[in-house]
Amino acid sequence: MNPSSNLFIIGPTGAGKTSIGRRLAAHYGLSFVDLDHEIEQHCGVDVNTVFEIEGEAGFRERESLLLDEISQRAGVLLATGAGAVLAPMNRTYLVERGYVIWLQTTIEQQLERLERDHRRPLLAVPNRRERLQAMASIRAPIYRELAELAIPGEHGSVAAASERCIALIDRHWQNSSASPRHTA
């Protein structure tokens, strides 16, 4: 939705939604919310434990409830979980309540960035490449459909990636909560 007072970041695991999202939120004066972190705060346990106890279905139900709640706020930059787009209702919340940005990344970049990360329950498999490719084949078309702005992933620092994002966002996003600029 453009104009909007919210920015919503979608994209695959390891795209930088949280680290870049924090910088974008600070730059635009928005409240930063990481959806997975919010789930952990509400449950009192980490995402892995939620998956162990409730399975993916239970996790996705909690994710949808919080996404609905958080997306109704104004002045929020929300970094979603990679699979939050799977539920049709979540897709509706995202496109109707904010400006949706897709942080893109390649499978190679994901493997590199997630090499030492063992916290993600869907990647606790012998062949991560195969799992990432399977998830991408389902999710990439959804990301493409939802995104008002797609930002290609590139190697480099979080700071450099954030600056590239800001340059692109500034050209496309109309912040409906920004105070009007007066000219003399």
Name every residue whose Cβ is closer than 8 Å to that of residue 139 and which is 6 or more positions away in sequence: 12, 82, 83, 85, 86
In a domain, 58, yes or no: yes
Which CATH number is 58's domain given? 3.40.50.300
Q: What pLDDT, on a 0 to 100 scale, did the predictor assign at position 118?
A: 73
- Per the structure, the complete domain to which residue 42 belongs is given by 7-172
- The answer to whether residue 123 is domain-embedded is yes
Three-state DSSP class for residue 22:
helix
The answer to whether 12 and 131 have CB atoms below 8 angstroms apart is no
Identify the pLDDT of residue 178.
67
Question: What would the two tokens of residue 128 be?
Answer: 């991560």
Helix axes 47-71, 35-43, angle to 10 degrees: 110
In a domain, 182, yes or no: no
Burial-class residue 142 by CB neighbours within 10 Å (0-12, 13-18, 19+): middle
Q: Given this model, what pLDDT does residue 48 score?
A: 87
Q: Looking at the domain assignment, is residue 68 inside a domain?
A: yes
Beta strands in 14-117 (DSSP E): 31-34, 76-79, 99-103
The 3-state DSSP class for residue 11 equals: coil
Assigned domain for 69 exists: yes
Of 88, 85, 127, 116, residue with least CA distance to 103: 85
Considering the domain boundaries, does residue 127 fall inside one? yes
Number of domains the chain is built from: 1
Which H or E element spans position 60?
helix 47-71
Along the 184 residues of the chain, how does pLDDT read in single tens digits? 668 999 999 999 989 999 999 999 999 999 999 999 999 999 999 988 998 899 999 999 999 999 999 999 999 999 999 999 999 999 999 999 999 999 999 999 888 888 777 777 777 778 889 999 999 999 999 999 999 999 998 767 889 899 999 999 999 999 887 654 444 4
The model carries a pTM of: 0.91
Residue 154 belongs to some domain of the structure: yes
Q: Classify residue 180: in a domain, yes or no.
A: no
